[in-house]
Amino acid sequence: MSAINPHLFVYGSLMSTARHPMGERLRREARLVGAATMQGRLYRVSWYPAAVAAEEPDQRVHGEVYALDDPASSLAWLDAYEGIAPGTGELAEYARIERPVRLVTGQEMAAWVYLYRQDVGRLALIADGRWRGEAG
């Protein structure tokens, strides 16, 4: 059995700046590695954001990387929080996928990230890729 990647890239309600209860839980179960970016685009869904893949290398989503103490346990409740449950398949709002991320130090690593699976056509683009969690 291969080891589960312990690294998780977060960009919305789970970030340390968001002060969300699930983010507080994450910080009890993981160590903050540091600020990082991922190639992609960020959109506002509602009170939370959605990241999607982007072809353009200069399109970046800003967030944080955590090292999970117990990846299998933490990823199970994180999947549930992100709406990924057994049997949801194509209906799930997000998919957990390993993607390359770049720490502010320049170091690159693979990390889990929750990417939005729905149509972003009607969502507002967050051009600078930084989620600030403001309402509206």
The Cα–Cα gap between 24 and 68 comes to 13
Q: Which residues neighbour 96 within 8 Å (Cβ) at sequence distance 6 or greater?
A: 75, 78, 79, 82, 84, 112, 113, 114
Residue 136: its pLDDT value, please? 36
**Which tens digit of pLDDT belongs to each residue from 50-70?**
999 999 999 999 999 999 999
**Which tens digit of pLDDT belongs to each residue from 78-96?**
999 998 877 766 678 999 9
* CATH architecture for segment(s) 7-126: Roll (3.10)
pTM of the predicted model, to two decimals? 0.93
Sequence ranges of the domains in the chain: 7-126
Strand partners, 43: 50, 125
- Model confidence at 2, pLDDT cuts 50, 70, 90, reads low
Instruction: Please provide residue 88's backbone torsions phi and psi, each rounded to the nearest 5 degrees.
Output: -75, -35
**Residue 117: both structure tokens together:** 């699976």
